[in-house]
Amino acid sequence: MYYGNIHSGTGNKELNKNNEVSNLGKVVAIGGGHGLGRLLSSLSFLDQDLTGIVTTTDNGGSTGRLRSETGCIAWGDLRNCLSQLSAGTDIKSTLFNYRFDDAGSLSGHSLGNFMLLALDNMCVRPTDTLNLFREFLGVRANILPMSETPAHLSACNSKGCKIIGEVEIDAEDFLPTNIDITPQVSAPDEVINAINQADLVIMGPGSFLTSVMPPLLMPDVKQAIIKSTATKILVANMVPEDGPTGKMPLYKKMQWMETVVGTSIVDAIIWPHSRALYGPGDLNVILADLKSDEHERVHHKTKLVNTIHEVIAHLPRANSQQKTA
């Protein structure tokens, strides 16, 4: 079956460490959950040229309980990204990653979430809070919340009923007819500046509706990405996600994204060749060996970075020429 423009990438050769930073320039990665943290840790060699813009609408687990009780933003995905970037074994990382077990009402809570919330309650901007913890953990990449104002993901189901919350949306048996942010919030200036300065914008991996899409629902982020001359790549999940979204063909996801944004913004899609690919569509799909021995759901870090390099090397140079024109 012909599916747009399909290319095969090996993703196996060793990186030339001397050229990594110069080849990719300033990179912005957008998403949430464990997928974004994995991507950021794969690209951590970029140091301060790497920025993660993290979805803050999660309402499940420890994060959801804290949000319900305090009205804070969702700290969980931000904490996860910091944790994966720190990757240390010292006492700081151990404390930040500690999760209470068999501790009454504290059970299931992450100490890192409490630490972030504590500074938030001391009236420190969430972005400044993250910068303090970057320094605390020795993380050089920038981590930014998509918004510093609490908000939830909302949706309408096929019966016209409004659903509030990521957990509730994921629990639906059918895809929603639309999604939105409630209330509508804006991004910190640092987020827009990072997108404006980016040479490469990567979306995903992660849940399409509840991790990748929420930042794109914000008008200021949407406009910044549309205007950006950066190369824009979508990284697909290693395996289909659970629920109805996992059954949505790639071309339908791209149609959904284009409807929300108002135009096509993806230059290329990195897709694991271990996953089946169905449906029509004029998409620039790069098939690559991204399999990791750690777990079927996670990308092999080196293979993923190599594939990103291959994509950049083979895409038309129009975007970079616009930047220097």
Q: Average of pLDDT values for 241-251?
A: 90
Sign of the alpha-carbon dihedral angle for 95, 100, 106, 110: positive
| Choice between 210 and 88, residue whose per-residue pLDDT is larger | 210
The whole-angstrom separation of Cα 39 and Cα 22 is 18
Chain-centroid distance, C-alpha 269: 14
Ranges 49-63, 102-116, 164-178, 305-319, most confident: 49-63
pLDDT reported for residue 298 = 93
Across the chain, what does the average pLDDT equal?
88
Asked whether the predicted pLDDT for residue 243 surpasses 50, the reply is: yes
pLDDT over 70, % of the chain: 89
CB neighbourhood size of 268 (10 A) = 22
270-301 tens-digit pLDDT: 999 999 887 766 789 999 999 998 888 999 99
Mean pLDDT value of segment 65-94:
88
More confident residue, 76 or 123: 76
In this prediction, residues 89-94 reach a mean pLDDT of: 79
Instruction: Name, of 3-12, 162-171, 195-204, 290-299, the range with top average pLDDT.
Output: 195-204
The angle subtended at Cα 31 by Cα 29 and Cα 34, nearest 5°, is: 105
Encode pLDDT of 125-153 as tens digits: 999 999 999 999 999 999 999 999 999 99
Q: Domains in the chain, please, with CATH?
A: 1-55+187-325 (3.40.50), 59-145 (no CATH), 152-184 (no CATH)
**Lowest mean pLDDT, pick from 28-32, 65-69, 96-100:** 96-100
**pLDDT at res. 3:** 42
pLDDT over threshold 80, residue 32: yes
The pLDDT tens digits of the residues spanning 35-56 come to 999 999 999 999 999 999 999 9
E strands, the chain, where? 5-9, 27-31, 50-54, 142-145, 152-156, 162-164, 178-182, 200-203, 231-235, 268-272, 284-288
Residue 10 confidence class, pLDDT cut points 50, 70, 90? low
pTM, entire model: 0.91
**Closest CA relative to residue 45, chosen from 96, 77, 79, 85:** 85
Confidence (pLDDT) at 108: 80
Reduced to 3 states (helix: H, G, I; strand: E, B; else coil), residue 143 is: strand
